[in-house]
Amino acid sequence: MKLSCNILKVEKFINFLVWVLAVIYSIYCFTTKTYTYFLNDKDEYGDFTRGLPFLSTKRDKTDFEWETIYYLLYNFYPWILIYIVISEIIHTVPLAIELVETFGSWSLHGYGYVMGQFFHIKYVVLYGLSSSFASFENVKVSHLPRCIGRIHLYSDMWKYFDPGLYQFLVRYIYIPMMKVSRYKLIASLFCFLFVYLWHGIQKYILVWTVLNYIGITLEYICNLCNKKYIETRNLKKILGPSWLRRIKCILASPLLVMSAISNFYFFAGIEIGNIFSP
């Protein structure tokens, strides 16, 4: 099975390489045919300007296709190349657990951060395409996933990364359970049970789900303490908004660490997640 997959990858790479060479050869043939004309053209009316440096040909000033090529070359293609290289590394590294174990702190944490960013890019592309098609038909859609690099609370992660799933959980599980039990933690527990079943009954999914539920529970308890001991005792006026913001950041830091570790389990599996765990 593994050998057939490798053969398929090699075949795709060869086909892609042949296609690239064919395009380059077509451009080369066109350039060689028109090189003499553009080189000897006197351009009496000033309609031409300098083209690509490595081709040394002139181009029409009103030709917007050249502007598009320039824009793609300087802005998109380098980042596409970087994305392809890093995505191959991300998909290959989890297969070599011994390699990840040799990473230092900076390398390990950088690897985890890149996994999160690429996961975010994946969902932006998937949701962006479907949202665009729905918007063309005047269908109201949820906003795109928010960058996980600036989310530090579990509640915000579930609200803003996958708003469609969040709205589904609230409407069809959380609110009906609140009518039965009236305990928010029990209603949240059933929501996470559904998330566990939805994403697949796997060990790393279970770890990710349990850590998320613990994070939501701790955040809920901290919010209750904030309303009971800080807002009711006028500490908000004494400390001021700046110090309250600093205190909340300090208290939320452990949740951010646990959130990152739980996502590493979700991204790369149980073995890689155990390496990140303290």
> What is the count of structural domains for the chain?
2
Asked if residue 242 belongs to a domain, the reply is: yes
In a domain, 135, yes or no: no
Same domain, 161 and 88: no
Same domain for 90 and 157, yes or no, is no
Using CA atoms, how far apart are residues 247 and 267, in angstroms rounded to an integer?
31
120 lies in some domain: no
Each residue's pLDDT tens digit, 156-177: 888 888 888 888 888 999 988 8
Q: Annotated active-site positions, please?
A: 199
Instruction: Report yes or no on 241 lying in a domain.
Output: yes
**Angle at the Cα of 108 (from 105 to 110), degrees rounded to 5?**
105
CB atoms within 10 A of CB 111: 20
Q: Which of 153, 150, 146 is nearest to 215 (CA)?
A: 153
Rounded to whole angstroms, the Cα distance separating 223 from 184 reads 13
- pTM greater than 0.85 (yes/no): no
- Residues with Cβ within 8 Å of residue 94, at least 6 apart in sequence: 100, 268, 269, 271, 272
Shared domain for 178 and 62, answered yes or no, is no
Residue length, the chain?
A: 278
Q: Is 148 helix (H, G, I), strand (E, B) or coil?
A: helix
Instruction: Check whether 200 has a pLDDT greater than 80.
Output: yes
Q: Residue 146 is encoded by which pair of tokens?
A: 């928010």
pLDDT score at 159: 83
- Tell me how far apart the 2 most distant CA atoms of the chain are, in Å: 86
Same domain for 162 and 271, yes or no, is yes
Are 83 and 155 in the same domain?
no
For strands 48-50 and 58-60, give the pairing. antiparallel
Q: Is 214 within a domain? A: yes
Q: Are residues 190 and 271 in the same domain?
A: yes
Residue 109 lies in a domain: no
Check whether residue 73 and residue 185 sit in a common domain.
no
Evaluate if residue 196 carries a pLDDT over 70: yes
Q: Is residue 16 assigned to a domain? A: no
Residue type, 217: T
Say whether both 168 and 256 belong to one domain. Answer: yes
pLDDT value, residue 140: 80
pLDDT tens-digit readout, 95-143:
677 888 888 888 888 888 888 888 888 888 778 777 777 777 777 877 7
Residues 169 and 77 in one domain: no
Please check whether residue 110 lies inside any domain of the structure. no
Taking only the tens place, the pLDDT of each residue in 219-261 is 888 888 777 776 666 666 777 778 877 877 787 788 888 888 8
Residue carrying structure tokens 């994403």? 199
Write down the H helix ranges in 2-56. Answer: 2-40
Q: Which domain holds residue 58?
A: 49-95
